Amino acid sequence: MDGRPRRSVLYVPADNPRALHKARTLPADCLILDLEDAVAPSAKEAARRQVKEVLAEGGFDGREVILRVNGADTGWHATDLDLARRVRPDAVLLPKVNGPEDLHRLTAQIGDVPSALWAMIETPSAVLKVADIAACTEELPLRALVMGTNDLIRETGVSADRERMALIPWLMTCVAAARAAGIAIIDGVFNDIGNNEGFRAECRQGRMLGMDGKTLIHPSQIGEANAVFAPTEEEIREAEAVVTAFSRPENADRGVIRMNGRMVERLHLDMARRVLEKASAIRRQETEQDT
């Protein structure tokens, strides 16, 4: 993984000039400028024009900018890719990915553009082929999988209960595929904007499942996502203690040491280092956003 924090990934409707400009001031780790679901057919052309203008102005420091294009089966896809070639976002997000061939086709179509690829996992076919999709990182600049849980629910007809019990096996399958490929994975959206308790619980569930962050549909969700998907002060202190313990000369060659009454292995040292690296990356990003 490239180490970039992706705790909060906010969808920004590309046909909303006010939202596009406000996004530059929000503490989100990532911004998905959405040309697809958030934009009506009659507004697609205006949305592309607004994206071009706002990215030319800049001011997104410390925020990863992703352009979600319309699907390859639509009449807008080619024009969206032409826009991507012009504005060069940090990444291009392809919806309705059903298999690795979709990402290879996109790469061939978009040409020599130094943008990473993100893939939406929102169809049954995508879940069944997610290991092959994630493995594209060996040949393509694929950096993240994005769970489209609303579409998965619609496509499969499963029950959408608060605990997401029907989705968990698929979410975990996708987490495993992302980890095997060394790329990020972002949880789906939470639709009930006013339900802060429910949103917090789903963020915590996503983190427990191994997600790197959560896609968001409203700026009010950014702070909670940033907090839940960041290491806590307690986790940072414990990670520092593990690193310090293994750095002592008497522990240099030990595979296992005793700390506070429990056995700590070198795998815990690796985990501790990742916690500290993530905390450091978050601090750097927040500093860049504030400058």
**143 within 8 A of 117, measured Cβ to Cβ:** yes
What rounded mean pLDDT belongs to the chain? 95
Q: What ranges do the domains of the chain cover?
A: 8-228, 233-290
Place of tokens 């959206």: 189
In 3D space, the residue among 58, 51, 108 whose CA is nearest the CA of residue 84 turns out to be 51
What pLDDT score was predicted for residue 73?
A: 93
Q: What pLDDT, on the 0 to 100 scale, is given for residue 237?
A: 96
pTM of the model: 0.94
CB atoms within 10 A of CB 159: 10
Third-level CATH fold of 8-228? TIM Barrel (3.20.20)
pLDDT at 261: 84
pLDDT at 113 over 90: no
- How far apart CA 145 and CA 258 sit, in angstroms, is 38
Can you give the pLDDT at residue 97?
Answer: 97
Q: Which residue, 3, 4, 51, 32, is CA-closest to 289?
A: 4
Longest dimension (CA), the chain: 69
Residue 1: pLDDT band by 50, 70, 90 thresholds?
confident
pLDDT digits (tens, 9 = 90+) for 177-208: 999 999 999 999 999 999 999 999 999 999 99
pLDDT digits (tens, 9 = 90+) for 6-23: 999 999 999 999 999 999
Name which residue leads in pLDDT, 22 or 253.
22
Ordered alpha helix ranges (H), the chain: 17-22, 44-57, 77-87, 100-110, 124-128, 130-134, 149-156, 168-181, 196-209, 222-228, 233-247, 266-290
Per residue in 200-250, pLDDT (tens digit) is 999 999 999 999 999 999 999 999 999 999 999 999 999 999 999 999 999
Nearest CA to 72 out of 38, 99, 50 is that of 99
